[in-house]
Amino acid sequence: MSHIIRFKIKDIQPEKEVVFKEFGIPKIDLVSEKIQQLYSEAIKVFRETSKPIVIYSEISKEKFQNIFKGEGNNSAETPVDKIFPKADNLILFALTMGKEVSEKIEILFKENDFALGSMLDNIASLSADNAVKKMEELAAKDTKNHEENYLILAYSPGYCGWDISGQKKLFEYLHPEKIGITLNDSFLMIPLKSVSGVLISRKSEIHKFENNFSFCSLCKTKSCLERM
Ligand code: SF4
């Protein structure tokens, strides 16, 4: 059975410092008055237009195996392949910041307002990442197993060898269209500021792996290192 919850904006809005760090500015003192005003304007638009919501459902390993196989386009070996069979619990999820904020970003770029568009785009992306972290925290609270080294992490189609076409089966199971998320022909989610994936819970050791898969050489973020 699936569940739907709405996030409070204040729970997922990124810290000001984090937003500027994304633009390569390490300290707020270094930000000009003009850019500070731009940030304030973007936050105002973000609060007015974002409606963050998630749909999620527990799933058995057997059913997840079929979803993860997707259309057969995954890399031969992936982190998820290695991790999910050892999991205690699996939860499929899809979340979105909503249609209005994504459309507003597109409009700003079309109108050549790149400064406000980029700031809003950045804030919405960081908020979607925070919403994923919130899901990880909520799943951790729900778990019956409160061992110290217990860890719940999200993995998404389109990353780390899980081909983006994996969205097809994930959507067939979870029906994110119930909260307004659809897939286009390239398996990209509409609205754009959306994230889907699986939350895998188990002792933290299972999330540790050597990041030497065939696709890792092309990875710019190496974000797995922060999470392990
Ligand atoms: S290095 Fe990049 S692609 Fe490889 S597992 Fe880590 S995050 Fe994924």
- Give residue-wise pLDDT tens across range 91-108: 999 999 999 999 999 999
| Fold annotation for 2-227 | NADH Oxidase (3.40.109)
Predicted TM-score (pTM) of the model is 0.92
Average pLDDT, the chain: 92
Which residue's C-alpha comes closest to atom 4 of ligand 1? 216
Q: Is the pLDDT of residue 147 over 80?
A: no
Taking the C-alpha atoms of residue 171 and residue 67, their distance in angstroms, rounded to an integer, is: 9
Q: Is the pLDDT of residue 199 over 90?
A: yes
Q: Are strands 53-58 and 2-6 parallel, antiparallel or unpaired?
A: antiparallel
79 Cβ below 6 A of ligand 1: yes
Which residue's C-alpha comes closest to atom 2 of ligand 1? 222
Per domain, the residue ranges of the chain are 2-227
Taking the C-alpha atoms of residue 3 and residue 15, their distance in angstroms, rounded to an integer, is: 28
Which residue's C-alpha comes closest to atom 8 of ligand 1? 160
216 Cβ below 6 A of ligand 1: yes
Q: Are strands 182-183 and 189-190 parallel, antiparallel or unpaired?
A: antiparallel
Please say whether the beta carbons of 88 and 173 come within 8 A.
no
Nearest to 130 by CA among 89, 175, 209, 138: 138
Rg (CA), the chain: 18
Give the mutation target among 78, 81, 223 for probing the ligand 1 site: most ligand atoms within 8 A of CB: 223
Residue 213 alpha carbon, nearest atom of ligand 1: 4
Angle between helices 99-110 and 33-49 (to 10 degrees): 140
The helix (H) or strand (E) run that includes residue 126 is helix 114-142
Taking the C-alpha atoms of residue 116 and residue 110, their distance in angstroms, rounded to an integer, is: 12
Residues 6+ apart with CB under 8 A from 168: 70, 71, 183, 187
65 Cβ below 6 A of ligand 1: no
> What's the confidence (pLDDT) of residue 126?
97
Q: How far is the CA of 107 from the centre of ligand 1 (A)?
A: 33
Average pLDDT over residues 96-124: 97
Angle between helices 114-142 and 99-110 (to 10 degrees): 160
| Structure confidence by residue, pLDDT tens digits, 32-54 | 899 999 999 999 999 999 999 99
219 Cβ below 6 A of ligand 1: yes
